[in-house]
Amino acid sequence: MKLIATHANSTRAEAQNGTENVLVLANTEDARTVALDGITRIDLEFPKFTDGRAFSQAFLLRRRRGFTGEIRATGDVLVDQLPQMARSGFDSAVLKEGQSVEIAQRQLARYAAHYQGDAVQPQPLFAREAA
């Protein structure tokens, strides 16, 4: 997962001037119904760390919609949420002000594999090892 410090995040306007076509999706919107044609990045907002609707949106975009572009977590993104974000389908995360990129990298490296399947790797560990 790509980690981005708050001050290094490109805004939607900056991204549109480049090669990315960014969709900023509020966590109140239904990820199953948004148009994805030409979209290369979707920014999902965590308005506060206790609001997990963006996890569900990321999972739906990856597994049900088959979105292969970048899914970026923005807003109140804390280091302890990163492993679940990676498993839900996020590719990158803009860390909340005051969160350390170094600590975030250690948090992501803490678990090399998970037994259960997830949005990124649907097969459980035993099925992957048997292959």
**pLDDT tens, 23-69?**
999 999 999 999 999 999 999 999 998 999 999 999 999 999 999 99
HSE (side-chain half, CA atoms, 13 Å) at 48? 2
Cα end-to-end span (Å), the chain: 25
Q: Whole-angstrom Cα distance, residue 125 to residue 68?
A: 22
Q: Whole-angstrom Cα distance, residue 13 to residue 50?
A: 28
Q: List, in order, residues 6 or more apart from 10 with CB less than 8 Å away.
A: 18
Q: Whole-angstrom Cα distance, residue 51 to residue 41?
A: 21
Supply the pLDDT for residue 13: 45
Q: Residue length, the chain?
A: 131
Give me the domain span that covers residue 54. Answer: 2-130
Q: Whole-angstrom Cα distance, residue 45 to residue 43?
A: 7
State the residue for tokens 């996890």.
55
How many independent structural domains does the chain possess? 1
Most distant CA atoms of the chain, gap in Å: 47
Report residue 106's pLDDT band, with 50, 70 and 90 as the boundaries. Answer: very high
CATH assignment of the domain containing 94: 3.20.20.70
